[in-house]
């Protein structure tokens, strides 16, 4: 079995994640290629697409939310993702058991003795009668079950039903509370009945591979995917990672080798590339995860230099501040400033004097 170096795996991932060069793709094609973008917060997907696509502008995504060709729904790892409407209907059934298992485990005590099916059907009737804000839905649930935990009941309904979050939430330049209805009601189509885990694994490899069984399980939140890899093994190729792990890949997927240069890229908060591997070392050097992942579940916006995390960043009005994790060369700083000014022109187009700050970390 051929050994695939960490750098070669990194370049393959960057290529498939549209981070080795910006892609000339439409929003819908890009979102489907990436198998969605994590969207716990409303607006990081805009930056995630800007950093991956040529000529991307906020209305390119906002209009897709408004015309219902993309939606926000809980999927992989039980977190909210921005996906195409077709993927919403295809992928949600594959994660049903996982979503329900997580909620039952997390809320076992406050929901002890409650009929989950009754709760889910009551919730379905409410959100399909008309879209409901989560605040309104919680109030109505408490009227029916006044002695139960409101948040726990909301989480049961979120896991049992394919709830989509409706615009204007996540529409650029607008704001809105979290308002939900079922995917079937919003899209006027049923969930798919022929989706397979085999196809899910193939799509994961196309967007994140080469990768291990543990990597796919980390990305999806699903278990026992080894059975899936074994089933489709004849159509895959395998490599050995530097640490000895078996990596799987699609034969025709791009693997450009270790040589291509990787440009500076600004990843948004919660970017999936940081969450897609049990062993994240191809993207995050040792020690960086602790600086990007907070104890309360926030994943900081990350800076990539030479294809790996090298700092975190944030924008405050007209200034983008980068906090490097290591000393940067003058060449790297120049590239960061150039790309950072482009990012500011995207996020803050009206600012007259944008600036990029890169304080020395040592």
Three state DSSP letters for 232-261 = HHHHCEEEEECCCCEEEECCCCCCCCCCCC
3-class SS of residue 179? strand
CB-CB neighbours of 28 under 10 Å: 16
Q: Let me know: does 255 contact 210? Beta carbons within 8 Å.
A: yes
pLDDT of 194: 96
Q: Is residue 361 pLDDT above 80, yes or no?
A: no
Q: Closest by alpha carbon to 361, among 340, 333, 320?
A: 333
Q: Closest by alpha carbon to 153, among 196, 222, 104?
A: 104
**pLDDT bucket at 152, cuts 50 / 70 / 90:** very high
Q: Give, in order, the Cα–Cα distances in Å from 28 to each of 21, 44, 62, 74.
A: 18, 16, 12, 18
Render pLDDT for 199-252 as a digit per residue (tens, 0 to 9): 999 999 999 999 999 999 999 999 999 999 999 999 999 999 999 999 999 999
**Residue owning tokens 């329900």:** 100
Q: Which residues of 212-225 are buried (b: 16+ CB within 10 A; e: fewer)?
A: bbebbebbbbbeeb
Q: Cα 184–185–186 angle (5° rounding)?
A: 95
Q: Let me know: does 303 contact 267? Beta carbons within 8 Å.
A: yes
Render pLDDT for 85-138 as a digit per residue (tens, 0 to 9): 999 999 999 999 999 998 888 787 888 888 989 999 999 999 999 999 999 999
pLDDT of 82: 98
- Report the distance separating Cα 266 and Cα 263, nearest Å: 10
pLDDT of 293: 96
pLDDT of 108: 79
Tell me the percentage of the chain whose pLDDT exceeds 90: 91
Residues recorded for the chain: 362
H or E element: which one contains 305? strand 302-305
User: What are the structure tokens assigned to 171, written together?
Assistant: 């529409």
Return contacts of 43-47, CB within 8 angstroms, 24+ apart.
43/170, 43/172, 43/268, 44/268, 44/269, 44/270, 44/271, 44/301, 45/82, 45/170, 45/268, 46/172, 46/268, 47/266, 47/267, 47/268, 47/301, 47/343, 47/346, 47/347
pLDDT of 362: 66
Please compute the mean of the pLDDT values over residues 268-276 and round it to a whole number: 97
- Report the distance separating Cα 333 and Cα 313, nearest Å: 13
Residue 70 pairs in a beta bridge with 84
pLDDT of 181: 98
User: Where are the alpha helices (H) located in 84-149, listed in sequence order?
Assistant: 85-91, 96-106, 116-129, 134-144
pLDDT of 106: 78
Characterize the bridge pairing of strands 237-241 and 3-4. parallel
List all residues 6 or more positions away from 248 whose beta carbon is below 8 Å from its beta carbon.
205, 209, 210, 211, 212, 213, 229, 233, 236, 237, 238
pLDDT of 96: 96
Please compute the mean of the pLDDT values over residues 303-328 and round it to a whole number: 95
Q: Let me know: does 4 contact 247? Beta carbons within 8 Å.
A: yes
Please compute the mean of the pLDDT values over residues 171-187 and round it to a whole number: 95
- Report the distance separating Cα 90 and Cα 183, nearest Å: 11
List all residues 6 or more positions away from 101 whose beta carbon is below 8 Å from its beta carbon.
none
pLDDT of 73: 98
pLDDT of 63: 98
Chain mean pLDDT for the chain: 95
pLDDT of 86: 98
DSSP letter, residue 57: -
Please compute the mean of the pLDDT values over residues 6-32 and round it to a whole number: 98
């Amino acid at each position: 079995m051929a050994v695939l170096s960490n750098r070669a795996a990194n370049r393959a991932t960057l290529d498939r994640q549209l981070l080795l060069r910006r892609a000339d793709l439409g929003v819908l094609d890009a979102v489907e290629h990436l198998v969605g973008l994590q969207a716990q917060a409303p607006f990081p997907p805009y930056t995630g697409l800007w950093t991956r696509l040529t000529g991307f502008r906020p209305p390119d995504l906002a209009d897709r939310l408004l015309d219902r060709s993309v939606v926000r729904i809980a999927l992989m790892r039980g977190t909210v993702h921005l996906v195409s409407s077709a993927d919403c209907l295809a992928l949600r059934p594959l994660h049903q058991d996982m979503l329900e298992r997580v909620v039952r485990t997390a809320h076992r005590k406050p929901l002890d003795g409650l009929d989950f099916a009754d709760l889910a059907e009551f919730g379905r009737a409410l959100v399909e009668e008309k879209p409901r804000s989560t605040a309104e839905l919680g109030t109505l649930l408490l009227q029916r079950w006044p002695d139960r935990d409101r948040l726990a009941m909301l989480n049961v309904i979120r896991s049992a039903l394919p709830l989509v979050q409706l615009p204007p939430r996540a529409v650029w330049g607008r704001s809105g509370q979290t308002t939900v209805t079922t995917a079937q009601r919003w899209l006027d189509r049923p969930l798919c009945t022929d989706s397979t885990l085999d196809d899910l694994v193939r799509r994961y490899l196309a967007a994140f591979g080469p990768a291990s069984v543990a990597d796919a399980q980390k990305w999806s939140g699903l278990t026992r995917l080894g059975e899936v890899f074994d089933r489709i093994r004849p159509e895959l190729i395998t490599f050995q990672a530097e640490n000895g792990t078996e990596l799987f890949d699609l034969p025709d997927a791009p693997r450009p080798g270790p040589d291509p240069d990787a440009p500076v890229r600004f990843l948004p908060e919660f970017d999936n590339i940081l969450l897609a591997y049990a062993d994240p070392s191809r993207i995050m050097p040792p020690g960086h995860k602790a600086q990007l992942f907070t104890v309360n579940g926030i994943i900081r916006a990350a800076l990539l230099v030479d294809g790996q995390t090298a700092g975190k960043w944030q924008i405050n009005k007209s200034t983008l501040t980068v906090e490097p994790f290591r000393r940067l060369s003058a060449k790297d700083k120049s590239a960061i400033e150039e790309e950072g000014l482009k990012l500011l022109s995207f996020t803050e187009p009206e600012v007259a004097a944008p600036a990029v700050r890169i304080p020395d970390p040592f």
